[in-house]
Amino acid sequence: MTYHVFLRKLFIKAILGCLLITSCGTPANSIPLNTATLQPATPPHTYNPSMTVTITDTPPPTSTATHTQTPSQSPTPPAPTTTPTEIETTSTGEVNVPILLYHHIEGEASSNRYDVSVPDFQSQMNVLQEMGYKTISLTQFLDALFNGSPLPKKAVIITFDDGHMSVYDNAFPIMEALGFSGILYIVANRINDIPDFINVAILKEMINAGWEVGSHSYTHADLTYNHGFAYQEIAGSKIDLEKALQVEVKTFAYPFGAFDNFLGQKVQQYDYQAGMGLGTSQRHTINTLYYLSRIEIYGDVTLDEFKEIFEED
């Protein structure tokens, strides 16, 4: 299978995933939405891996963990950081880094799209280490995108949506043993001892180990169907997560990858530095800042297919 064939396979699966959103839904104990008021966005959202959003001329703002109830913008870009060993300078305004997306890491064999088995995940992380990849943070990524700051020659970002306990139980120790860190996209109403989800104490433990936390909304709702929930889901989740964790929440991952231009503008307006979507591209620019492409690793992906993601085009 060629790299291009594999990308087409991922693209097809991503489209199907956006259509089958019920398999990644909100648990019964989440804050309910008023479904009687839900109306489709105009026009209805569609998945497009090259989505862009019109953003202002100022760089994404930085924020602190203390918020008022009305988020505001600041023109200050992320502060530069240094990266040890094997570094290369990027071009300002463009970064080529694969961003991987996982959900559950559990079991001896995968049972569905969202479950990557523990043995498969271990093999995938081993391959990344053998190939010389180093995980980077979103702070490093944004510094490179805006300032041309150096990154490892083989940089990768590993993200996990929803905040399932299986990530802490299984992915966290595997990655820690290899010197890797990741980014957790957390649904804000699931952090207070909800069964199967990582709580505040565990999130703080992982943050102390070098992981970052982003918002995955307040209730995991598809906001393209009702823009009226945008403030609570996007701004409210950031406020509550930062208050609970005492860290800056810099990025937002759209539930189901569902996106429209209104939401992208709100993510920027509500003080996020970037937005995470779905896709197959490893090339990220200022124009895709609020819908960065993430390559979802499916439960049935083979190790050869996984390796092909990182092969030269």
78 domain-assigned = no
92 domain-assigned = no
Q: Looking at the DSSP assignment, which residues form a beta bridge with residue 162?
A: 186
Backbone phi, psi, residue 179, to 5°: 80, 20
286 domain-assigned = yes
80 domain-assigned = no
Q: Is the pLDDT of residue 81 over 80?
A: no
Q: To 5 degrees, how large is the angle CA 305–CA 306–CA 308?
A: 65
Q: What domain range is 176 assigned to?
A: 3-20+43-64+97-133+154-309
> What pLDDT, on a 0 to 100 scale, did the predictor assign at position 291?
97
Report how far residue 174's alpha carbon sits from residue 285's, in angstroms, rounded to the nearest whole number.
31
Q: To 5 degrees, how large is the angle CA 45–CA 48–CA 49?
A: 140
pLDDT of 4-34, one tens digit each? Answer: 444 455 544 544 444 333 334 433 333 333 3
What CATH number is attached to the domain comprising 293? 3.20.20.370
> What pLDDT, on a 0 to 100 scale, did the predictor assign at position 311?
84
Calculate mean pLDDT across residues 299-308: 96
> What pLDDT, on a 0 to 100 scale, did the predictor assign at position 69?
36
30 domain-assigned = no
291 domain-assigned = yes
pLDDT of 193-241, one tens digit each? Answer: 999 999 999 999 999 999 999 999 999 999 999 999 999 999 999 999 9
CB 116 within 8 A of CB 105: yes
